[in-house]
Amino acid sequence: METTSVIEARNSVATAAWSAVDADLLSRVRKTSLVLGIVVGIPLTFYFGLMAGAAWLAGMVWSLINLALIAAVVKRVLADERDKTAIVIALAIKFPVLYAAGLALLAVLHLPAAWLVAGFTWPLFVAVMKAAGRAYLGLDETRGPRRQGLES
């Protein structure tokens, strides 16, 4: 009986944490990462070469696919009725296929590892900056934007 209450408490905390994340956050991060990533990738290609630009773009796309697969797994784990088969399939795709693709980018295409890693971290940087901006502006607080106090 006590084990059931611990599981219920864990599920309610996890569900509350997941619902506290803005539902459109991943969509906004994806769109902003792609647009700004391409904007950054163009001068990067001219200054550092085609391979650096290709590695930047490939790393960014690889990271966004990874983020989408992680979100799919987390949604399925936190669902009221867990579909264990779907979770296993998502993980089976994520680990071997995604990491084999990363290995192919490095070993077969010989993309520069530093630019691949830089592109891979770009969506994380965008997500952190978006969260910092929302926190600074107070957009997630119940009393409204912080700048509201500045206007009076």
Q: Give pLDDT tens digits for 41-85.
A: 999 999 999 999 999 999 999 999 998 888 888 888 877 778 888
> Contact 44/56 with Cβ under 8 angstroms?
yes
Better-predicted residue by pLDDT, 31 or 10 = 31
* Distance from C-alpha of 46 to C-alpha of 42, rounded to nearest angstrom: 7
Residue 9's region, left for phi above 0, alpha for psi from -120 to 50, else beta, is alpha
What is the pTM (predicted TM-score) of this model?
A: 0.74
Query: Picking from 16-20, 99-103, 126-130, which range would have the lowest pLDDT averaged per residue?
Result: 16-20
Better-predicted residue by pLDDT, 2 or 96 = 96
Instruction: Give CA 18 to chain center in angstroms.
Output: 14
Better-predicted residue by pLDDT, 21 or 118 = 118
> Contact 78/15 with Cβ under 8 angstroms?
yes
Q: In the 3-class helix/strand/coil scheme, how is 97-128 assigned residue by residue?
A: HHHHHHHHHHHCCCCCHHHHHHHHHHHHHHHH
* Distance from C-alpha of 85 to C-alpha of 89, rounded to nearest angstrom: 6
* Distance from C-alpha of 50 to C-alpha of 44, rounded to nearest angstrom: 9
Residue type, 141: E
Residue 22, pLDDT above cutoff 80: no
Closest to 34 in 3D by CA, of 115, 126, 128? 126
